[in-house]
Amino acid sequence: MPYLLQMDFPTEGPFGPAMTEAFTELAESINDEPGFLWKVWTENSDTGEAGGVYLFESRETAQRYLDKHTGRLGGFGITAKIFEVNEALSAINHAPVDPAQR
């Protein structure tokens, strides 16, 4: 069963194309994390927030990733939650969580 990790933190930027330029190397490195499936990067320049929604193969791999990066991001006021994914309902709404697509 996949697990979703949601992380958010306050930031003054960068946003948009500048964020892409600043974090491309980080984004590429996330692909190498054990159990990582995908990430949707989030940003809201109006409220000064950024973060992401990640999908991991298991609770353990999501927790391991969170533990690894909480120390690095803890001083930024990060908030994080891990959720079980209801694959059947998510598939109805076209979420990319189908085990056959992994």
pLDDT in tens, the chain (102 residues): 899 999 998 999 999 999 999 999 999 999 999 999 999 999 999 999 999 999 999 999 999 999 988 776 666 778 899 999 999 999 899 998 765 554
Predicted confidence at residue 97, as pLDDT, reads 77
Predicted confidence at residue 68, as pLDDT, reads 87
Angle at 67 between CA 53 and CA 20, to 5 degrees: 40
Angle at 28 between CA 26 and CA 70, to 5 degrees: 40
Q: Name, in order, each residue with C-beta under 8 angstroms of 64's C-beta and a sequence gap of 6 or more.
A: 34, 35
State the DSSP H helix or E strand holding residue 30, giving kind and residue range, or none if neither. helix 16-30
Quote the CA–CA distance of 87 and 93 in Å, as a whole number: 10
CATH code of the region 3-101: 3.30.70.100
